[in-house]
Amino acid sequence: MAGLVDADEWAFDAFVRARMPALLRFAHALTGDPHTAADLVQDALERTGVRWSKLRRTDDPEAYVRRAIVNGRTSRWRKLRRESLTDAVPEPRSHVDPATHDPDLWRLLATLPTRQRAVLVLRYYEDMSEEQIARTLGCAPGTVKSQSSKALAKLRAALADDEAYAVRAEPKPEATWST
Amino acid sequence: MVYLGGGVDVAQRLRDLLTDEHLAVRVPAGTVEAIQSGVRRRRRTRIAGASAAVAAVVAVAAVVVGPLALHRPAKVPHGDLASTIRGVWKPTPFTFLPVQMSAPAAMAVSGGVVWVAGPAAGASGGDVLARIDAASRRVTTLTTGVVSDMAATPRHLWIALRRGPGGDGACSLELRETGRGDVVSTSPLPCDTGNGSAPVVTANGTHAWVASDDGHRTHLRLYTVGSSSPTTEAVLPGRLAGPHLLAIGGTSVYVVTLVPGEGGARLHQLSALDLQPLRTTAAPGARLIAYGNDQVYVAAANGIASYPSDLGARHDFAAGRVTTLTTGAGLVWCDPGGGTYTGLDPHTGAVVGVTTMPADPGGLLRADGTVLWDVEPAPQVGVRSAQPAG
């Protein structure tokens, strides 16, 4: 069956080359960090490659990769919370960085649990339906709905707090005296 | 960007934030190679970890499979079936398609979804496209142009059209997503509509290879999901030799053209990703082509020939006339003498599987994994599947 092995390798190679940029963008949105995203995507694709001959025939390989990225993000977060992070690595930002586009929302997005963040990214970046998100994350459509609604509520509340604080902290206009 | 006063909804802000532009990424050089290397490393680790278990399984298999090896079939002429048949494939009952489809014109199967296209009774502007969920047998119908060929992957359906929907006279390639069958893109194809030019398509992963002829030359194009323009194109001398003469396998694509005055059909091998010509050989009388198990199978009027994937040699594979040729479930499937669909050993050509499904001249057969799918035209267009009994 050497031919089938070759065909599988070739198909996997083609899949990786075609979908890598999209998967990296998805992972970037999920993690908030392009370097962590690259690590997660590589790990997820290696796992996919090992099971490729089965996945390409019976499953949606891209959904499997996305699920592996989300699960990898959760595992990584569990590992990292046992370590003490002192500060973010200083790094120059590009003008198209999401952190410069809407810094408040980008920061708040990072505070959401991985699943909720994944649901929002799949919904608002990948434009997936609730059923497609449920298939990708391996959960029920009802769970997607509740996670999405909770995540949006958290973001709305946090943004409202930020704006209220900003209004309070804004310097009052100087008084003008008429003579 | 600054958002003021909470006037913009969070959902809209998320859409504005999560864009390709903001999430721009750079794929470092060598990443794909690093992933391939990682896959090989993980496979080695798994194999090493499982070696003890494998040794035990091999020992058991030697006891169980040993006697079966004694019955490995030698090449036998058709007709001498009894001594070599290893499997009888029994079909499920038919799932009938809506009555407006008068006959099947093309079928594609992938990822548990079966697609059948055929002319709508009493209408000439387009075809009915039926989507059948393999698990539930639920049928959904859509409309499309006049279908000449289809190819499916788990996520995408590629449809080669002789004429576009609504009487558009040009050949085109339609890409649909497989979830609901919505059209993703349409691309024009070169063709010779006056002479009934019929484009053909095959697909793998996110790519589709489409062959069509303009009346003089055959255009072979590679399309990739995400773009309606071809990634690359090769132009071959001569017309496309028939409606079932394009196959993808290994890292090559195979197509048969007919060059007038050059002794008949030519079988071309091209590199699949850049369509660079690799080899050409004579394929006299070629009518059908299929790829499987590292072999190219070509059916002509009096039998099937097999070639290694580099077309280095030609072997007589099976004798007799066939009107169906496809590969799947590890076998080469055909209808010798127009009888029932029959599975041949891919190396010896011996009959090793038979079905109880008679091959109707208007029927089509495709394989998806280990399941065979058959669509038959009468009395109403219906689809059924078959798997080995027992």
Question: pLDDT tens for residues A66-77?
Answer: 999 988 888 766
What's the token pair of residue B157?
């359906």
Domain range B87-388, its CATH number among 3.30.413.10, 3.40.30.10, 2.130.10.10, 1.25.40.10: 2.130.10.10
Spell out the residues 6+ positions from residue B261 whose beta carbon is closer than 8 angstroms to its own.
Answer: none
pLDDT over 90, % of chain A: 15
Do the Cβ atoms of A20 and B31 come within 8 Å? yes
pLDDT at B210: 96
Give yes or no for residue B5 having a pLDDT over 60: no
How far apart, in whole angstroms, are the C-alpha atoms of residue B351 and residue B84?
6
Give yes or no for residue B3 having a pLDDT over 50: no
Instruction: Kindly report the length of chain B.
Output: 390
Most confident of A10-14, A174-178, B7-11, B369-373: B369-373
Question: pLDDT tens for residues B307-359?
Answer: 999 999 999 998 888 888 999 888 899 988 767 888 898 888 888 888 888 88
* Closest-CA distance of chain B to residue A128, Å: 12
- A36-74 b/e (C-beta count within 10 Å ≥ 16 → b): bbbebbbbbbbbbbbebbebbbeebbbbbbbbbbbbbbe
Give yes or no for residue B75 having a pLDDT over 60: no
Average pLDDT on B360-367 reads 85
Mean pLDDT (chain A) is 75
pLDDT at B382: 92
Chain B contacts in chain A segment 139-158 (CB below 8 A) = 152, 155-156
The residue with greater pLDDT, B47 or B175, is: B175
Contacts of A94 in chain B (CB under 8 A): 24
What's the token pair of residue B331?
């076998």
Nearest to B153 by CA among B228, B254, B224: B224
Query: Long-range contacts of range A78-85, CB-CB < 8 Å, 24 or more positions apart?
Result: none
The domain segmentation of chain A, as residue ranges, is 1-82, 99-169
Do the Cβ atoms of B292 and A3 come within 8 Å? yes
pLDDT at B387: 82
Tell me the CATH class for A99-169.
mainly alpha
Out of A3, A62, A98, name the one closest to residue B249 (CB): A3
The number of angstroms, rounded, from the C-alpha of B195 to the middle of its chain's C-alpha atoms is 25
pLDDT band at A172 (very low <50, low <70, confident <90, very high): very low
Residue B162: how many other CB atoms lie within 10 Å: 23
How far apart, in whole angstroms, are the C-alpha atoms of residue A23 and residue A20?
5
Q: What is the pTM of this model?
A: 0.57
Average pLDDT on A86-92 reads 40
Question: pLDDT tens for residues B61-70?
Answer: 433 433 333 2
How far apart, in whole angstroms, are the C-alpha atoms of residue A94 and residue A122?
24
Pick the range with the lowest mean pLDDT from B57-66, B244-253, B275-284: B57-66
Nearest to B183 by CA among B211, B216, B159: B159
Instruction: Kindly report the length of chain A.
Output: 179
**N-term to C-term CA, chain B:** 66
Q: Which amino acid would we find at residue B22?
A: H
Chain B contacts in chain A segment 100-139 (CB below 8 A) = 101-102, 104-106, 109, 120-121, 124-125, 132
Do the Cβ atoms of B250 and A6 come within 8 Å? yes
What's the token pair of residue B124?
């000439």
Give yes or no for residue B82 having a pLDDT over 70: no
pLDDT band at B78 (very low <50, low <70, confident <90, very high): very low
- Whether A47 contacts chain B with CB within 8 A: yes
CB B292 within 8 A of CB B328: yes
pLDDT band at B53 (very low <50, low <70, confident <90, very high): low
pLDDT at B121: 77
Distances (CA, A) of B371 to A90, B156, B261, B349, B359: 56, 20, 42, 20, 17
CB A60 within 8 A of CB A135: yes
pLDDT at A89: 38
Q: Which amino acid would we find at residue A1?
A: M
